[in-house]
Amino acid sequence: MKKLLLYLQNHQTRFAGLVLFAISIALVVYINPREVKFKYEFQKGKPWLYENLVAPFDFPVLKTDEELEKERKSIVESKTMFLRKDDDVAEDALIAFEDEYKIEWNKIEAVAPLGKKGTPKVKDAFRRSVKNTARDLLGEVYQKGVLKPVGDDEGKVGEVLITVKGVSSPARIQDFHSISTATSAIRKAYADSSEAMQDFIIPILLSHLDYNVFYDEKLSGSYLKSQLEGIVPTRGIVQEGELIIFKGNIIDDEKFAKLNSLRKSYEGSYSGQYSFYFILSGQILQIGLLFSVLFVFLTQFRKQIMEDVSKLTFILINVLMVVGLCRVVLDFGVTYIYLVPFTILPITLRSFFDTRLALFVHMMAILLCGLMLPNSFEFVFLQFVAGVFSVVLVNNLYKRSQLFFTAAKIILVYCISYFSMAIIQEGSLQNLEPLHFAFFAGNGFLTLMSFPLIYFQEKIFGFVSDVSLLELSDTNNPLLRRLGQEAPGTFQHSMQVANLAEAAVLKINGNALLVRTGALYHDIGKLTNPMYFIENQSTGLNPHDELSFEESAEIIIKHVRDGIKLAKKNNLPDILIDFIRTHHGTSTVMYFYKQYIKNFPEEEVDLEKFTYPGPKPFSKETAALMMADSVEAASRSLDKPDHDKIDALVENIIDHQVDTGQFENAEITLREIKEIKKIFKKLLMNIYHVRVQYPE
């Protein structure tokens, strides 16, 4: 156990990296859908791009949404209407009629008898006859039924069923009375009667006329619901081995229905717990393999990132953000995936790291997204091409306007890539999707979010982007302005070193803006004692004349420590402080060291007092700055510089640095150092206006 703890302690950075990769794999696996994906993509009206397709198993042909909607609409428009007849209405009306008839008859008999004069028996018989006739008429009206209006649905029904005492039988709307037709029927029945009889009996009958047939909304709705639920979703079956479509055939309505049915049957047939674990296992293997590729790449070619937890976290978080956004958008539809600005990832990474890393991570991210898409070749192709162009076009993101132009070019790349794929796959321009071009335009617009995203991530992770470097390299920066005022010689030296180092790093494919900015600040420590450095001595007086060689060396060496303190006080980023810390490496303050030996030949020299504390340069950029600083400073002491003197100066200084191991920690090759020498010689000859001597 003790050995294990000791091992983990010695390899805690590597262990932290493995944990970060494991968490990333788990998160990507978690957000991936578990459903089996149909491996073909197809659209109605477009050619079938794959080999001849034969049914792998029996499956039903599903009705299309349009067909199902048409059936539903037909059922609703010809729905069955249920009516309910209420016999109690007729019974109550007839009883009330008889009561009112008796009262009204007695009233009119006392004033103006309706019948002829006669015996009481004759009059009573006449009274009963009138009552019975009217009662029978009212009963016939109710027997036929008086239908209460059912509203707008009355003209949109098919079959009509009337329910009487729980028994339903067919009927027609026109078979029933309305209040209007019932009134007409009553008036017609008494058309031949005397006016006095009409005035007496018709009002009584009409006063007891009411609805006794009603629309049964509950029963009608229940029956309609059962009919809609009874719609069969299929319309036939495709047998195993049956040819579905030939390669190149246009996908018409019938073929589309079969293909869509096969897709749904295929995806549905692999549901269940058993299939779930198989899918999960496959996703873990695929996603784990892709992250393993990134792990190997970083371990072999970008060790400094694997050894920096914050940088590794930054890269993995950006990958997870892209994959997560892709998953969210897919819930709205596959087509919307082209609205996602995937090029933000390589642009952001390129702002902090190199082009190769940005492209590698981008490719891995779109492959992770492609695992969630059916037949993802088109997606991967478009995003890969756009990603490469975005990194090339934004090689150094110095200005906001540069990003606007880049966004426009990315839109153009997307459109050209999609257009080329479309005409290859379909052989015509008829089936191009205009919506895709709109999505590409939106994609390019969203790419502009790179700028605020880069700024936001700079603050969180403490990184420095090219935009920030450009701001820091402005000579109007307060610290650089102070350097120019208080130590003008050092400022001019720093400007020349910046030019030399920038040109050299450009030649060896390093970060030119980084080294230029670092060069401008590398000697700010001289602000503490500017007059102790020869480039700032304009009066001819040298304060070192009053000091011992050890004291002079201490002041010279101290400018590195003073520079680090001043940089931290002014909140310069660590990546620039590294240039201050390493620009002399572990070299020796040679002038005072040699003066000490010359003046005290018999004494033993404490070399440590004349040696910079380091560390040595650890990157191409810091190494190039060390070379440029030494060469530029030494070139000022040349008497009548010419081609040979400059050549010898550059060779001797840089070779000495190589021989003393100053670049052993830097990722720089001898071939690159050779290229840097050529650049320095050329620039120094231009600075000192050296001309090549031609023979007479």
Tokens in use for 611? 């040696």
Residue type, 305: I
Residues 536 and 584 in one domain: yes
The pLDDT of residue 518 is 96
Does any domain span residue 418? yes
Residue type, 678: K
Does any domain span residue 26? yes
Name the more confident of 288 and 193: 288
Contact residues for 561 (Cβ-Cβ < 8 A; gap 6+):
525
Q: How far apart are the C-alpha atoms of 56 and 38, rounded to whole Å?
A: 13
Confidence band, pLDDT 50/70/90 cuts, at residue 598 = confident
Confidence band, pLDDT 50/70/90 cuts, at residue 400 = low
Residue percentage of the chain with pLDDT more than 90: 28
- For the stretch 539-558, pLDDT in tens is 778 888 788 889 888 999 99
| Secondary structure string (H, E, C) spanning 132-155 | HHHHHHHHHHHHHCEECCCHHHHH
User: Cis bond leading into 615, ω under 30°?
Assistant: yes
Residues 445 and 492 in one domain: no
- For the stretch 292-329, pLDDT in tens is 999 999 988 888 888 888 889 999 999 999 999 999 98
Tokens in use for 566? 């001043």
Residue 565 in this model has a pLDDT that exceeds 90? yes
Residues 448 and 491 in one domain: no
Last residue of a domain, one of 413, 429, 460: 460
Residues 452 and 483 in one domain: no
Residue percentage of the chain with pLDDT more than 70: 87
Name the more confident of 131 and 586: 586
- For the stretch 603-629, pLDDT in tens is 888 888 889 998 999 999 999 999 999
Residues 436 and 482 in one domain: no
Q: Name the packing angle between helices 377-393 and 400-426 (round to 10°).
A: 150
Confidence band, pLDDT 50/70/90 cuts, at residue 517 = very high
Across 96-100, 491-495, 577-581, least confident range = 96-100
> Contact 680/504 with Cβ under 8 angstroms?
yes
Tokens in use for 423? 């005409």
Strand order in the sheet with 167-171: 167-171, 157-164, 79-85, 213-215
Tokens in use for 6? 């000791």
Residues 607 and 573 in one domain: yes
Tokens in use for 461? 């992770």
The pLDDT of residue 267 is 67
| CA neighbours closer than 13 Å in the CB half-sphere of residue 264 | 14
DSSP annotation of 636 reads T
Residue 140 in this model has a pLDDT that exceeds 70? yes
Confidence band, pLDDT 50/70/90 cuts, at residue 2 = very low
Residues 342 and 386 in one domain: yes
Q: How far apart are the C-alpha atoms of 633 and 535, rounded to whole Å?
A: 9
Residues across the chain = 696
Does any domain span residue 547? yes
Residue 124 in this model has a pLDDT that exceeds 60? yes
Does any domain span residue 256? no
Q: What is the mean pLDDT of residues 207-232?
A: 80
Residue type, 356: R
Beta strands 157-164 and 167-171 are antiparallel
Residues 331 and 447 in one domain: yes
Does any domain span residue 695? no
Residue 512 in this model has a pLDDT that exceeds 80? yes
Residue 661 in this model has a pLDDT that exceeds 90? yes
Confidence band, pLDDT 50/70/90 cuts, at residue 115 = low
Q: What is the mean pLDDT of residues 138-152?
A: 79
Confidence band, pLDDT 50/70/90 cuts, at residue 413 = confident
The pLDDT of residue 320 is 94
Confidence band, pLDDT 50/70/90 cuts, at residue 5 = very low
The pLDDT of residue 38 is 66
Does any domain span residue 409? yes
The pLDDT of residue 399 is 59
Name the more confident of 128 and 50: 128
Domain that holds residue 524: 466-687
Residue 333 in this model has a pLDDT that exceeds 90? no
Residue where the block lists tokens 């590698």: 360
Residue 396 in this model has a pLDDT that exceeds 60? no
Residues 567 and 443 in one domain: no
Does any domain span residue 175? yes
Q: How far apart are the C-alpha atoms of 151 and 171, rounded to whole Å?
A: 18
Last residue of a domain, one of 227, 247, 264: 227
The pLDDT of residue 492 is 94
Last residue of a domain, one of 460, 493, 522: 460
Tokens in use for 605? 């020299």
Q: What is the mean pLDDT of residues 142-156?
A: 71
Q: What is the mean pLDDT of residues 4-9?
A: 49
The CATH number that applies at residue 492 is 1.10.3210
Residues 472 and 588 in one domain: yes
- For the stretch 261-297, pLDDT in tens is 777 777 666 555 556 777 788 889 999 999 999 999 9
Q: How far apart are the C-alpha atoms of 606 and 408, rounded to whole Å?
A: 63
Question: Of 680, 685, 688, 689, which is closest to residue 499 (Cα–Cα)?
Answer: 680
> Contact 436/338 with Cβ under 8 angstroms?
yes
Residue type, 402: Q
Residue 116 in this model has a pLDDT that exceeds 60? no
Average pLDDT, the chain: 82
Q: How far apart are the C-alpha atoms of 616 and 421, rounded to whole Å?
A: 52
The pLDDT of residue 521 is 96
Does any domain span residue 234? no
Residue 47, classed as helix, strand or coil, is strand
User: Highest mean pLDDT: which of 98-102, 243-247, 374-378, 501-505?
Assistant: 501-505
The pLDDT of residue 8 is 46
Q: How far apart are the C-alpha atoms of 342 and 373, rounded to whole Å?
A: 15
Residues 600 and 667 in one domain: yes
> Contact 85/145 with Cβ under 8 angstroms?
yes
Number of domains in the chain: 3
> Contact 222/207 with Cβ under 8 angstroms?
no
Q: What are phi and psi of 21, to 5 degrees?
A: -65, -40
Confidence band, pLDDT 50/70/90 cuts, at residue 153 = low
The pLDDT of residue 167 is 67
> Contact 24/320 with Cβ under 8 angstroms?
yes
Name the more confident of 638 and 521: 521
Q: What is the mean pLDDT of residues 651-680?
A: 94
User: Highest mean pLDDT: which of 204-208, 211-215, 243-247, 495-499?
Assistant: 495-499
Residues 333 and 449 in one domain: yes
Q: What is the mean pLDDT of residues 194-200?
A: 80
Name the more confident of 220 and 155: 220
Residue 9 in this model has a pLDDT that exceeds 60? no
